[in-house]
Structure formats: structure tokens, C-alpha cells
Amino acid sequence: MPLLQIDQMTHYFGGLRAVHDYNLEIEPGQIRGLIGPNGAGKTTIFNLITGIYSPTEGDIRLEGKDIFGLQPYQIASLGLGRTFQNLRLWRHMTVLEHVMQARYSKLTYGLLGAFFGTPKRQREEAESRKMSNELLELIGVRHLADQIVVNLPYGAQRRVEMARALATEPKILFLDEPTAGMNTEELAQMMATIRQVHKELGLAIFLIEHRMKFVMELCDIIQTLVFGEVIAEGTPAEIQNNPAVIEAYLGKEIET
């Protein structure tokens, strides 16, 4: 059984068909890529799977369990963690608070613990702090733990998004353009970080990217999306040599 299985997912924004007949199977530990021109519907697919939009039709199963129509927080708790293309950080919170906040569904101390500071709460918060610090270490932003996020450079903010998503203990990590706005050096570092995360946490990764070098080096299987439809799916080598992909997308991309 695949970890995540999506069958015939279609979504309309009013009259605009943003996604059409989309299918996906992700196996545990896989790294999958989703590429395509601007406006193809890539982010929309992420939003549909993570519950931010509800698909017009389709079937979404996580480990065989139907998650169609669940609220985003429920889907996240079940093991789909994500980052956002346009950073969505909490502007008054520190880096460490971001990561600890994402442990929300793992806390069991309840309102009584929150009101009265019970020993259980102290214990759980201490554990959460420890784990969050370890994640910050893994992602390479431990030294920024007490900074308010808005003061950080763009690259660091992207990393905070990643650390925060990992704190939800995802089975699949969704990364929406993790290298957007980064220079070549930062890109290489981000690639190393993703490899490290994949190795240490053993999770599956589903990523959207425009930087071809990045996608081709990291991913096991890549889908190409054009106007909401998958026109090709295959290994990096297959995608690079696919005439339809070159015609619709790669030919126009001058980036590496």
C-alpha cells in the first residue's frame, strides 16, 4: 500500500479548472518532485492534499485512510507536514516558538495544564523544547532560536518553515519551492540539508521546484504539470529527455 494515494483529483476555482484528473502514489522514503510553469497548479495541488482547499472531486488516502474533507490541522496531525511558497511565519514569535508551536497536537496536558502549570505540562514543554532545539540544529538555525522571525534573512526564514513543518512529525514533508530566492551557494546548502533530513528522519518528501539542477539531483520520480494536467511522470532522466516536457516547460527555462 502506498503511503499517499490520490486518484482522479480535480479542482475548479469558479469556472477555472486549476487541477484536472490528478493521480499520485508516494511510497515511504521516496523523494518526489513536481515541476511545471508558473500558474500550472502546483501549489494548488499542495493546498488540496493538505486540506486548505477541498477538491471538487477526487480520492485522497493516507496509509489507506480517507482524508478527503478533513480540516488542515487534522491532516497535518496525521502526518502531512508542509512549508509555504510565500513564507507564512508568525511575525511576533521567535524561531524556537515556531517549532514548539507545531508540536501542538502532540501535547496532552490540556487546558488544566495550561492554566495551572501542572508538572505534566512542565515535562511536556521541556521535552518539546529539547526536541525543537534538536530540529533547529538539524536544519542549521539553532543559533537563531531566540530571534523574532521577521528580523531574519530570507534564507533563514525558509529554514524555519522547514524546521516547523518537521516538528509536526510528518510522514511526508511537502516543500513548496524550498530554494526560491536563494543564491547558488544557499541552494547547495539547502540541498545538503534536505538530504540530511531525508536520511536522518527517513520520511518521504514531495517538493515543488523551478531549479532543475536541484530537482534532477534530489528526486526519485518527477511529475510535470502543465495547465493543471500531468503531461509526464518518470525518473529525472526520462523527464529531461521527454519531448513534451521540453516543449512545454524545460525549453523555456534558462535557469539551472
Partner 1 sequence: MAESTNNSSAGRKGLSVRLGKAWEPFTKVPLLGWLLGILVAVALEQLVGTPLAHLVGLSKIPVLFGFVIVLKQPVLLPGTLLYILLIYLLPVGLVARLGAALTNKLAARLLQSPLWVSAIVHVGLLYASLHMWADISDYRDLVLRLTLIAIILTLSLNIVNGYMGEFSCSHPGFMALGAYAASAFTVIFFVEDKVFGSPLLPPALGPFLFPLALIFGGVISALGALLVAIPSFRTRGDYLAIISLAFLFIVKSLIENLEILGGPRGFMSQPDWANLPTVFIWCMGSIWIINNFVSSTLGKSLNAVRDEETAANAMTVNTRRTKMVGFQFAAFWAGVAGGLFAHVMRYVNPGSFGIQKLAEMLAMVYFGGLNSVVGSIVGAVGFNLLSEALRPLELFKWIIIPLLLILVMLYRPTGLIAFREFDIANLLKPKRKSEEEVEHAIATD
Ligand X SMILES: Nc1ncnc2c1ncn2[C@@H]1O[C@H](COP(=O)(O)OP(=O)(O)OP(=O)(O)O)[C@@H](O)[C@H]1O
Q: How far is residue 79's CA from residue 73's CA, in Å, rounded to a whole number?
A: 10
DSSP, residue by residue, 194-243:
HHHHHHHH--EEEEE-S-HHHHHHH-SEEEEEETTEEEEEE-HHHHHT-H
Residues numbered 10 to 49 that lie near Mg ion (CB under 5 A) are 43
40 binds ligand X (CB under 6 A): yes
For residue 135, what are the CA distances in angstroms to 28, 53, 81, 159, 163? 21, 29, 14, 11, 6
Distance CA 80, CA 169 (A): 8
Q: Min. distance of Cβ 238 from ligand X in angstroms?
A: 21
Print the binding letters for residues 153-182 with partner 1: x by CB under 8 A, - otherwise: -----------xx-xx--------------
Contact 255, 35 (CB under 8 A): no
Per-residue binder mask for ligand X (CB under 6 A), 71-110, x = binder: --------------x-------------------------
Binding residue (CB under 6 A) for ligand X from 1, 38, 108, 254:
38
Stretch that binds partner 1, among 18-26, 71-79, 199-207, 232-240 (CB under 8 A): 71-79
Nearer to ligand X, 38 or 108 (CB): 38
Interaction between residue 128 and partner 1 (CB under 8 A): yes
The interface with partner 1 within residues 187-246 (CB under 8 A) comprises: none
Query: What is the SS3 string spanning 24-85?
Result: EEECCCCEEEEECCCCCCHHHHHHHHCCCCCCCEEEEEECCEECCCCCHHHHHHHCEEECCC
**Applying CB under 8 A, which part among 1-9, 85-93, 134-142, 191-199 lies near partner 1?**
85-93
Q: Are 10 and 56 in contact (CB under 8 A)?
A: yes
Among the candidate windows 68-76, 202-210, 212-220, 240-248, which touches partner 1 by CB under 8 A?
A: 68-76
The window from 97-105, 139-147, 191-199, 215-223 that contacts partner 1 (CB under 8 A) reads 97-105
43 versus 224: smaller Cβ distance to Mg ion: 43
